[in-house]
Amino acid sequence: MLKNKLRLKYIKLKGFRSFKDEVKVDLDYDVIVFYGGVGAGKTSILEAIEYALYGTTYEVAEIKGIRVDDLVNDFSDELSVTLCLTDGRHEYLIERRKRKGVRGSLKIFIDGQEKYRGVAAESFIKELIGGLTYYDFSRFILVRKPILENIVAHRPSERTKALDRLFGLTILEELSRSKAYKVLENRLFEVENRLRELESKVKIAEDINRYITKIKELEEKIQELKEEKEKLKQKQKKLTTLIKELDKKAIELEHIRADKIACQLNLDELKRQLEREYFISEVKIQDILRILESIKDRITLSLAELLKGELLTQVESIEISEETIEDAINTLEKIMLDIREDISEEEYSIHMLERRRAELKLRYERVKAECEQLLDEYMRLEEAKREYDEIRKRYGDYSQITKNIENLQMKLRVLERRRDISEALLKVLESVKEELGERGKMACPVCDSQLSIEDVKKVRRKIEQIRSGRISGISEYENIKARLRELEEVRERMLSLKRRLARYDEVKDILDELKKEADEKLKEIIDLEETISNKKQALEAIKRTIQDVKVMLEKARRLYEVYSMRKKIEYLQHKLYELEEKEKEYEPIIKEKVQVLGELKYIESRLSSIDKEILSLEKEINEIRRLISEAKTASKEYAILKVKYDAIKDLYERVMQIRELFRRIQPEVRERLLSKMITELNKVFRKIYPYGDYIELKISIEPSGRIRIVGVYEIYAKRSIDGSLVPIVSRLSDGQKIIVALSLILTVSKISKHKLNILMLDEPAPNIDLSCRRALIKMLSSSPDMGQILIATQSEEYKEIVSEELSRRGLKGVVYRVYWTREGSKVEVERYVK
């Protein structure tokens, strides 16, 4: 290990690219090979180192659309990369974390102690790796396959571009083409335009007195217009007062004209109406008065009975004269209307009487029917009464019959008892007779005396006696029973009749009342019919009278109307004449009003035009003032801008000079670099190329085609056989060319100021054969100051090559197998080489 050079110890990565779970990779070896299939995560490990050091990767920095967030594993929210380095004295731990959508964090630990964070940590890394920029790192530390191929590409332009990139000279091309200078150009253009805009305003400021004079002139003109406006306003006031008076008179005239028209119309209408009454030649007021007097008399005489007191008084109080003729007609017409109402009332009362008559008739019929019905019942009751009286006559009163029944019932009970005793006695005697007949003697069952056979005769007699008495008793009993039955039936019948006869008096009373009512109703009906007949006759007479009066009143009215119309026509003709005279008086006023109105209109239009003129002049003044104000401001701004413009132009010219220089010095810088590195390049080349066919390299800049000004690189190899220089692109094999390219990269890395002593190769020379690969590893491991070499490859052959070459030179190496699983990429040791 070289003094002060850094060496990788290990790296831990989690959630980075294809690595989901945390993976720790030990890097403390001279040669580290990451072997695995496509997409296994080999390159991701190399990029993790790049990310740990710079917080970015080649893809993020160079390809548009790829962001740091895209480095986070698709199934993780956060990535973390921890890189451990050592310089032999201390151990440095760089820890970067990044959450999607959130700014990343950076921490530096030195010998296990946290020392720096954020910006300070970034500065520390820069210092730690000896100022090695990301640009440098991508040039000669992490070497991707295209870089190697392009350095020895056949096309001169590609080759030149790759070499310029390796030497760090593309910066000159980029700087000469940078768009950053646009800010100066734009600002200069802005200021230039603004100055041009201001120039016209500045001219106004120079000629300011002329504008001030113009303002004064305009102000004087405004003053003149205001004075004229004042005079016109005074005149307008006077004329307005005059026009108000004229307006009043005009309104009066309008009224006169309206009256005239109305008068004329009335006159025409009256004349037309009069024409219709052409047959009434002459009307005398005395005729009308006579008719009215006659009407009054007729009403007073003929309708006195009908008219109510008040109405009659009204008729009598009517005054009939020439002056009151219209009132008299109106009053009579009104009275006629009242009389018609009275007639209607009378007709109604007759109607009501007829209705009453109908009701009475109906009631009478009903009473009559009820009478007939009751009469039948009464007849039946009369018959029952006769029967009842006969029964009483024959059997006595109800109580007497009841008493007789009770006596007979008692007699029957005595006879029944007597019969029972006889029966019992007969039985006793029969038994005594039998016993005596059998035994000849016995004790009397009644008195216990001794009876003998001689007593049998007595017993037989006695039995005979009892039997004959019993026969006569039965006959009596039957008679009494028959008599009792008869009496009970009679009593029953009597009770029934008595019950029926209870309604007898009631029916008799009702019948009497109904008969009385029927007689009354009949009488009332006859009276009503007479009344109705009388009323109807009277009403007919009144109606005839009213009809006559009506005709007379109409005639009087018509005569009076004609009389009135003629009077009115005379009046209207007179009025019309008067109105025409008045109208003639007003005609000059109208002419005067028209004249005044014309004058007023002129004043108004003039006032309006004065206002507009004043407004326009004021606007003009304001515009001039605004221009003057703007010109003053513009003058100030112009003065400042002019100085600014000169300063910016000076700056712009300087920067343009620099820009041009960046483009121009490219060949000179190339020459300087080549001269500085050629000796070192040949040293490296001879060290890593152990064959003797080519012993030296030479790089020259030659003019070529379109890029003749800056030229193209041509790499030559000196052939040992004849000492001639041959172009490597056409003469050397692919493997040899890769060795030349690597020699160049190693040389640049070696002579550049930095402390990161590592080389990372991503898929170096995949198209070369086994011997070339062997030569490559041999070359890399043969250099004692090479530091650490990291190779990411798909080729299995490297495993063997690395083992053989390292063990031969006593170097430490490791082969890691990188593979993909569903839980993300994994790394495991395939082989250690000691």
Partner 1 sequence: MFRVEEEILRVIKKHIKDEKTYNIAREILMRYLSGKDKSVRDYLLKLLKEVEKVAEEQVKA
Q: Which residues bind partner 1 (CB under 8 A)?
A: 131, 133, 135, 167-169, 171-172, 174-175, 178-184, 187, 639-640, 643-644, 646-648, 650-651, 654-655, 657-658, 661-662, 664-665, 668-669, 672-673, 676, 751-753
The closest alpha carbon to 782, from 803, 821, 755, 811, belongs to 811
CB of 135 to partner 1, least distance (A): 6
Shortest Å, Cβ 217 to partner 1: 36
Question: What's the CA angle centered on 14, arms 9 and 18, to 5 degrees?
Answer: 110
Nearer to partner 1, 619 or 664 (CB): 664
For the bound state, the minimum distance from the C-beta of residue 175 to partner 1, rounded and expressed in Å, comes to 6
Whose Cβ is closer to partner 1: residue 55's or residue 824's?
55
CB closer to partner 1 out of 644 and 831: 644
Tell how far CA 798 is from the center of its chain.
74
Q: How far is the CB of 170 from partner 1 (least distance, A)?
A: 10
By beta-carbon proximity to partner 1, the closer residue of 53 and 732 is 53
185 or 228: whose CB is closer to partner 1?
185
How far, in Å, CA of 815 to CA of 827, rounded?
Answer: 10
Q: Based on CB atoms, which residue is closest to partner 1, 697 or 748?
A: 748
CB of 636 to partner 1, least distance (A): 9
The CA-based diameter of the chain, rounded to the nearest angstrom, is 221
Look at residue 536 and give its three-state secondary structure. Answer: helix
Report, in Å, the least distance between residue 652 CB and partner 1.
9
Tokens 């090559």 correspond to 801
| Distance of alpha carbon 699 from alpha carbon 242, whole angstroms | 116
CB of 663 to partner 1, least distance (A): 12
Pairing of strands 105-110, 113-117: antiparallel
243 or 669: CB nearest partner 1: 669
Q: Are strands 7-14 and 105-110 parallel, antiparallel or unpaired?
A: unpaired
Could you give the 3-state DSSP secondary structure of residue 10?
A: strand
**In the chain, what is the straight-line distance between the N-terminal and C-terminal CA atoms, in Å?**
17
Least distance to partner 1, CB of residue 789, Å:
21
By beta-carbon proximity to partner 1, the closer residue of 258 and 651 is: 651
352 or 647, CB closer to partner 1?
Answer: 647
Q: Which is nearer to partner 1, 680 or 696 (CB)?
A: 680
Q: Kindly state the smallest distance separating residue 741's Cβ from partner 1, in Å.
A: 18
Report the alpha-carbon distance of residue 488 to residue 136 in Å, rounded.
163
User: Among residues 655 and 772, whose Cβ is nearest to partner 1?
Assistant: 655
State how far the Cα of 830 lies from the Cα of 834, in Å rounded to an integer: 14
* Nearer CB in complex with partner 1: 244/753: 753
For partner 1, which is the closer residue by CB, 178 or 193?
Answer: 178
Q: What is the DSSP string of 553-589?
A: HHHHHHHHHHHHHHHHHHHHHHHHHHHHHHHHHHHHH
Give the shortest CB-669-to-partner 1 separation in angstroms: 5
Residue type, 38: V
> CB–CB of 781/809 below 8 Å?
yes
Rounded distance between C-alpha atoms, residue 699 and residue 729, angstroms: 12
Closest CA to 93 of 8, 3, 5: 8
Q: What is the CA radius of gyration of the chain?
A: 80
- Which tokens in the block code for residue 47? 């990029």
CA distance 432 to 420: 18
> Between the CA of residue 183 and those of 454, 652, 661, what are the distances in Å?
195, 10, 19
Residue whose token pair is 């009344």: 531
DSSP 173-198: HHHHH-STTHHHHHHHHHHHHHHHHH
What is the rounded CA–CA span in Å between residue 632 and residue 581? 78
Q: How far is the CB of 639 from partner 1 (least distance, A)?
A: 6
CA proximity to 742, closest of 49, 59, 147 = 147
Pick 506 or 646: Cβ nearer partner 1: 646
Q: Smaller CB distance to partner 1: residue 72 or 106?
A: 106
Distance of alpha carbon 740 from alpha carbon 152, whole angstroms: 8
Under a CB-based contact definition with an 8 Å cutoff, are residues 504 and 385 in contact?
A: yes
**Nearest-approach distance from CB 824 to partner 1, in angstroms:** 34
Least distance from C-beta 655 to partner 1, angstroms? 7
The label of the residue with tokens 């831990």 reads 12
Helix boundaries (H) for 761-834: 770-782, 797-809
Distances in whole angstroms, Cα of residue 134 to Cα of each of 9, 125, 144, 309, 662:
21, 11, 14, 139, 21
Q: 109 or 652, CB closer to partner 1? A: 652
Contact by Cβ (8 Å): 420, 439 = no
Nearer to partner 1 among residue 77 and residue 650 (C-beta): 650
In the complex, the smallest distance separating the C-beta of residue 713 from partner 1, rounded to whole angstroms, is 15
Min. distance of Cβ 746 from partner 1 in angstroms? 14
Question: How far is it, in rounded angstroms, from Cα 490 to Cα 482?
Answer: 13
For the CB of residue 638, give the shortest distance to partner 1 in the complex, in Å. Answer: 10
| Minimum separation from the CB atom of position 6 to partner 1 (A) | 16
Q: What 8-state DSSP symbol labels residue 68?
A: G
Compare residues 764 and 787 and give the one whose CB is closer to partner 1: 787
Measured from the CB of residue 725, what is the shortest distance to partner 1 in angstroms? 26
3-class secondary structure, 277 = coil
Q: Between the CA of residue 463 and those of 255, 430, 450, 451, 453, what are the distances in Å? A: 157, 8, 19, 16, 16
Compute the Cα dihedral for 540, 543, 549, 551 and give only its sign: negative
